[in-house]
Chains A and B, each alone.
Chain A
Amino acid sequence: MEFEESVRNKIGERGEPELIDLWSEIYKCYKEGGPDSLQNLINGKLKELRKGVKQEVDGIKEVIPKKRKKRRR
């Protein structure tokens, strides 16, 4: 556990609980499923972010009035 402990201790020195949580999550994920699993975890987080921004963009799109097509006479 030399490596994991060293990282955890160094992160701990920064006094940011979120950082420790994220590291624990990353390390646990890696240990359980290897590099593929870790990449999936990060991609999952990116997917959530995309989803959030897409919701926002869709919400704004709804508000913007549709351009009316001029009738040809």
Chain B
Amino acid sequence: MSRFFTIDSIEIEGFRGYLKPIEHHLGGKSALIYGPQGSGKSSTLNAIEWVLFGKIAYFKSAESKSDIELINSRMTGLECRVTMVMRDGASAIEITRRKKSSGRETQLTVYTDKGEMTGNDAQEFLFRELGLTLDDFYRSVYLHQESVRALITEDPRDRDEAIDRLLGLGEARDIIGSMPMSEIKDVIDELKAQREKIISKLEGAIEQIKHEVKKAENDARREGFQDDQFNESQVGYMLDNLRPKIENISKDFTVVCPELESDITTGSVLRSIAKLKMFVRDCRKRIIEITGIENLTAEQSELTQISKELRMIMEEIQKVRSEIDSIKGTHGDFSEIDNHKKSVEHRLNDLKNSRETLDANARLAKEALLFFNDPNLSFCPVCGQPINRGEIKKHLEEVVGSITGGRINEIDEKIKMAKEEKENLNGIIDRLQKLEKKKDELNQDLEKLNHRIEKITHVEVKIDEMKDFVDKQILDLNQKIEESSKIYEKRNKDIEDLDQFVDRIKAVNNVLLKREEYEILEKRSKAEYDKRTEYSKTIEEAEKFKGRLETIAQIISEVQTSLAAQSLSAIQEEVSNFYSRLRSHPYYNTLEISVNSKNVSGVQKNTYLIRAFSAEESRGTHVSSRFSTGQMNCAALSIFLSLAKLSKSSLGFILLDDPSQSLDLEHLNGLVDVLTDISKERQIVIATQDERLYGEVNKKFHSYDNSVLIKFKPWTKDGCAVEN
């Protein structure tokens, strides 16, 4: 016997817009919930959905994972509760659901005549009793305003999704949508490519090492080895031969003899080669030191320089001496020249005195002449005797003439000559002093050279023997350098031979080393290859996983399409019936909905074609291109009401949230008629803010006396409030 539950009462506390507990008594009657926007109408319908299923399908809780937005933030203790009593005749079910702010879980309690149930037991009981899922609830019980809004949208994807949800196929759509098929394919492709790349790198490395083996073999052949000599015993044999050689070289060069590794594995040989190369390097550094060639060459170079400088100094000394001798030969030695100079100076003084005396005489005579020019002068001013002024004047004029006319000039000429002679003698003295100084300096330079020679040769040499000594030393050094060069060449050859021998050992060892590396790589890559087979299985598994997901997605899609087709087929007649009763379109008065499957981003999804037909002329049109939003709303209502009518669930009520959106008066009246009829068979809960709908429905329902009016006041921070 099928049951038919209607809502008897619902008490809501702390849920969304509700704060204080408010109980709505419906008593199984239809209800018209009316109030301004945001007053609590939709919260009331949501509360019915939530108390039954523990979630709200259209509720977006992206901000938090705990659905905390369900609880009114002013609610003390942050908990919400909804209690709903449903009745089917005499039997009743009381459902209470609570939720705290922490966690997503809700606490469900169900009371029946038989007792109390909680948690999963309670949820399973509800499922059994009500016979529907959340999808079914949306399909046949609750026409959400979002469903209508999505259906009348111009975006075909949103419309398809809305019809899917209307037909109860939201689950299928969600599951298919959660399978990122193209992403899975991309990941597998990327991983396969990554794997192939590294495998190709490994193969490349094997080829490279093969090439290196061949190169090492060719290098060893160029060193004169036969292929049958590429073995450890050959390397051992060569190292044994080398030991006495390096001991001798070690002694010759006084360089520490390297301790070679005792075993002849490639690694040990490599270490021995490194030691030998180090030994060769140290010997090369020592070679010049032990032959002394560097010091000899330096000495030779220094002495050659000294010899050159010596020659130059001696030439200079010779020149200075010649000049001194020449001066002395002409002018005598320094004291003679000095005496000569003094006598010239004396003569010069005498001449100057004579000149001054003549000058004085001439002045006196000139003054006397002036004196005797006086015509009145007849007596001597000194003795008072009478004088002959004319004779005196004549005499005085002769004196002045003699002095100024010849004698002074003669003395001046002699003074000039004496001065020149003195200057000349000064020049000779000065030159002689400079030459003596230069000679001293050159002798000092000779002393310095002598010190340098002594420093190099450790021999004290007399100054006058220096040249011969240096020349002999240079000759000796040349001979020594020649001898050292011979030793140097021999030692150098020993080292070069040793180096070449080490290179030969290295060539054979390198072949062995490369062969070993190749073997190791081959062995390890084979091991990796075995592992790779396992890894390939991983990728195979992934491919299988992808294949299974594709199959499942395909099957879901088929089922989804098939279920949609079944539902549409079942409701087709009712849809057209409701549609025509809603006075939908003046010409296209019947509605047909068909379903197909189409690929959207790699996923098969349902796509719906809504066509309206004219019954009289059998002509059709696409609803989306021809219908107004109000007419589209009629299509949504037709589908929903058809599904609700045919529903086999035990719920005897349907919820309509804002069903009159975009309807004009004619369509609204059609809707009211339809709802009035349905309300005779089912409990209808309508939430609306549409004054016209409120007025019409209230009038109609009231006349049948089978309705309850819940009128919300505008919402305040104290929560929802209902008019009494």
A interface, CB within 8 angstroms of B: 1-4, 6-7, 10-11, 14, 16, 18-19, 22-23, 26-27, 30, 34-35, 38-39, 42, 45-46, 49-50, 52-53, 55-57, 59-61, 63-65
Interface size on B, residues (CB 8 A): 50
Q: How far is the CB of A35 from chain B (nearest CB, A)?
A: 4
- Residues B195 and A42 in contact, CB atoms below 8 Å apart: no
Q: Nearest B residue to A22 by beta-carbon distance?
A: B548
A–B pairs, 19, beta carbons within 8 Å: A2-B168, A4-B171, A6-B562, A6-B563, A7-B555, A18-B544, A27-B175, A30-B174, A42-B549, A46-B187, A49-B539, A49-B542, A50-B191, A52-B535, A56-B535, A63-B205, A65-B205, A65-B209, A65-B517
What CA separation (Å) do A4 and B168 show in the bound complex?
A: 12
Pick the contact of A18 from B178, B538, B548 — CB < 8 Å?
B548
- Residues B517 and A22 in contact, CB atoms below 8 Å apart: no
What CA separation (Å) do A22 and B528 show in the bound complex?
A: 31
Q: How far is the CB of B551 from chain A (nearest CB, A)?
A: 6
**With an 8 A cutoff between CB atoms, is B637 at the interface?**
no
**With an 8 A cutoff between CB atoms, is B392 at the interface?**
no
Residue numbers in A under 8 Å from B184 (CB-CB): 42, 46
B interface, CB within 8 angstroms of A: 133, 135, 168-169, 171-172, 174-175, 177-180, 183-184, 187-188, 191, 194-195, 198-199, 201-202, 205, 209, 517, 521, 524-525, 528, 531-532, 535, 538-539, 541-542, 544-545, 548-549, 551-552, 555-556, 558-560, 562-563
What CA separation (Å) do A35 and B173 show in the bound complex?
A: 10
Residue numbers in A under 8 Å from B180 (CB-CB): 39, 42
Pick the contact of B552 from A19, A52, A53 — CB < 8 Å?
A19
- Residues B174 and A60 in contact, CB atoms below 8 Å apart: no
Main secondary structure of the interface of A (DSSP, over half): helix
Pick the contact of A35 from B178, B551, B563 — CB < 8 Å?
B178
Residue numbers in B under 8 Å from A23 (CB-CB): 552
Q: How far is the CB of B517 from chain A (nearest CB, A)?
A: 7
Q: How far is the CB of A21 from chain B (nearest CB, A)?
A: 9
Residue numbers in B under 8 Å from A38 (CB-CB): 174-175, 178-179
- Residues B524 and A52 in contact, CB atoms below 8 Å apart: no
Residue numbers in B under 8 Å from A1 (CB-CB): 133
- Residues A42 and B552 in contact, CB atoms below 8 Å apart: no
Residue numbers in A under 8 Å from B201 (CB-CB): 60, 64
Q: How far is the CB of A19 from chain B (nearest CB, A)?
A: 5
Q: Which of A14, A19, A46, A56 counts the most B-chain CB atoms under 10 A from its CB?
A: A56
What CA separation (Å) do A63 and B556 show in the bound complex?
A: 46
Q: Nearest A residue to B531 by beta-carbon distance?
A: A59
Q: How far is the CB of A51 from chain B (nearest CB, A)?
A: 9
A3-B517 CB under 8 A given contacts A26-B552, A52-B535, A57-B195: no
- Residues B538 and A63 in contact, CB atoms below 8 Å apart: no
What CA separation (Å) do A65 and B520 show in the bound complex?
A: 10
Pick the contact of A57 from B168, B198, B524, B549 — CB < 8 Å?
B198
